[in-house]
């Protein structure tokens, strides 16, 4: 039982790290897109 709990905890930590990485990547992507849109808007207008 204790072994399973330890394994679950490790899996949870790994998942948490992955989602954090993905989340920061998403934020970076959104920021880049926003900057690109602003640049395009500035050149067009």
What whole-number distance in Å separates Cα of residue 30 and Cα of residue 32?
5
Residue 41 tokens, joined: 């808007």
- DSSP track, 7-44: HHHHHHHHHHHHHHHHHHHHHHHHHHHHHHHHHHHHHH
- What confidence tens digit (pLDDT) does each residue in 9-33 have? 888 888 888 888 877 888 888 899 9
> Is 36 a residue whose pLDDT tops 90?
yes
pLDDT at 35: 93
Stretch 33-40: mean pLDDT: 92
Model confidence at 1: pLDDT above 60: no
């Amino acid at each position: 039982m204790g072994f399973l709990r330890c394994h679950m905890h490790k899996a949870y930590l790994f998942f948490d790290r992955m989602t954090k990485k993905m989340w920061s990547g998403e934020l970076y992507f959104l920021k880049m897109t926003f900057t690109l849109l602003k640049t395009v808007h500035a050149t067009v207008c």
